[in-house]
Amino acid sequence: MELIQTILTIYSSTIIGVLIVFLWRIAYFYEQTSGQRVGHYFLLVPALLLAAGVIWYLTHGREFTGEPTGDLLLFSGGALLCVLGSRLQELMTGERR
């Protein structure tokens, strides 16, 4: 059962990493074509926080929730990714409301 849990954790983390790379490339492309400063390099921070959270859980061999250190890393990475993604969306759509 632990092997399946580890495989699913690695698989889902890889998919999230691929999506972050796509978001980073979109931000980079938009910055290059529009001339507007987007700050695509800031997407490395949530990627590193999420990776650190996943690595923490994988190395400690515990359930994927319930540990404050791992949860804090995952939460902060996800929240920061949400903020940066929303900012990118506002920049790309002309900050319409």
User: What pLDDT, on the 0 to 100 scale, is given for residue 96?
Assistant: 61
User: What pLDDT, on the 0 to 100 scale, is given for residue 3?
Assistant: 84
Of all residues in the chain, the percent with pLDDT exceeding 90 is 54
Q: Where are the domains of the chain?
A: 2-92
CB 49 within 8 A of CB 75: no
User: What pLDDT, on the 0 to 100 scale, is given for residue 67?
Assistant: 83
User: What pLDDT, on the 0 to 100 scale, is given for residue 74?
Assistant: 92
Task: In whole angstroms, give the CA distance from residue 4 to residue 11.
Answer: 10
Q: 17-51, pLDDT tens digit by residue?
A: 999 999 999 999 999 998 888 888 999 999 999 99
Structure tokens at 35: 């001339």
In this prediction, residue 95 has a pLDDT band, given cuts at 50, 70 and 90, of low
Nearest to 56 by CA among 42, 41, 76: 76
Structure tokens at 64: 């994927």
CA 36 from chain centre, in angstroms, equals 23
